Amino acid sequence: MKFRANLVIGGVLFAGVIIAGIFAPWLAHTDPVMDANLMYAEEAPGSEFWFGTDAQGRDIYSRVLYGARISLTVGIISQLINTVIGVCLGLSAGYWGGWWDDFVNGLTNMMLAIPSLIFALAIMVILNPGLTSLLIALGLTNWSFTCRLARASALSLKSQGYVQAAKVLGYGDIRIMLTQLLPNMLGPIIVIGTLGMGGAVLAEAALSFLGLGIRPPYPSWGSMLSDARDQITTAPWISIFPGLAIFVTVLGLNLLGDGLRDILDPQARTRRA
């Protein structure tokens, strides 16, 4: 099998972030919320505090590790919600057609016209800031591409011989969709899901940065950056490490998505954008 640098580098980076998140309680030096000590406020990176400390004297390394948990939770769960919504709507619209297809098409066009961050922002107005609200907001705003893809795949697959054979055998519509159509469109959907996860991590960080996501003192990378703005001149390391963590996570996911696309959807390789 051909060596794919993007797949390997992306996989290693993303695996590193997952390991950091899972083993945060063992890898962290201090409690990310409780261990604030003004005596150590704005300490530069060194042997005691690897990434330095923030304005409250909290260890940034420990907070960055715990921040991985929030980012990964939001990225994975919200993208799962998006994928389930997109696949259910797109698959059923493509397979059934008719008024349902028209309705789903209209809904998708409407969603594509609203920038997802703006829509998520609007949802956060209604819900109280917090992890659950973030999952709902980001899980409801980014399904349209998956829906389009699932619909297009269902449209082309439903006339295939094996689908017709399943119909003749008396399979119900839902069974045909789940056992005949879905497995054959899974590759591109996994690719979109992986790339969408990176987008969700960025969106979570942006909303938390604006004070509408995870609220301090919980260590979300976005809210850490929001807190760090005032110390940018005196303690720039407070801004550097959480930002770097977001960058590495999203880069890993983007490379992984690209690598998976090369394998699962080889035709897309040349038209890749």
Partner 1 sequence: MLSFIVRRLLQSLPIILAVAALIFVMFSVIPGTFASSMSDDGRSVLDAEVMARMNKEFGLDDPVYVRFGKYVAQLATFDLGTSFRTRQPVAHVIADRLWPTAQLAFASMLFAILIGVPLGFIAALRPGSWIDTISMVGAVSGLSLPKFWLGLLLMYLFALMLGWLPSFGYGGGDLRYLILPSVALGVAPLALLARTTRAAVLDIMNADFVRTARSKGMSESKVVRWHLTRNALVIILTTIGLQFGTVIGQAVVIEKLFSWPGLGSLLVDSVTLRDIPVVQGSILVIVLLFLLINMLVDVLCAIIDPRIKYT
Does the footprint of partner 1 cover residue 15 (CB under 8 A)?
no
Does the footprint of partner 1 cover residue 113 (CB under 8 A)?
yes
Residue choice 72, 93, 123, 200 for contact with partner 1 (CB under 8 A): 123
CB atoms within 10 A of CB 62: 24
Does the footprint of partner 1 cover residue 44 (CB under 8 A)?
no
Q: Which is nearer to partner 1, 89 or 123 (CB)?
A: 123
- Which class for 198: exposed (0-12), middle (13-18), buried (19 or more C-beta within 10 A)? buried
Helix (H) or strand (E) holding 182: helix 182-209
Residue choice 8, 22, 122, 165 for contact with partner 1 (CB under 8 A): 122
- The count of residues interacting with partner 1 (CB under 8 A) is 49
Report whether the peptide linkage leading into residue 129 is cis, meaning its omega lies within 30 degrees of zero: no
d(CA 216, CA 221): 10
Residue 255: which of 1, 16, 53, 35 has the closest Cα? Answer: 16
Q: Which is nearer to partner 1, 180 or 249 (CB)?
A: 249
Binding site for partner 1 (CB under 8 A): 6, 106, 109-110, 113-119, 121-126, 128, 198, 202, 205-206, 209-212, 222, 225, 228-229, 232-233, 236, 239-240, 242-243, 246-247, 250-251, 253-255, 258, 270-273
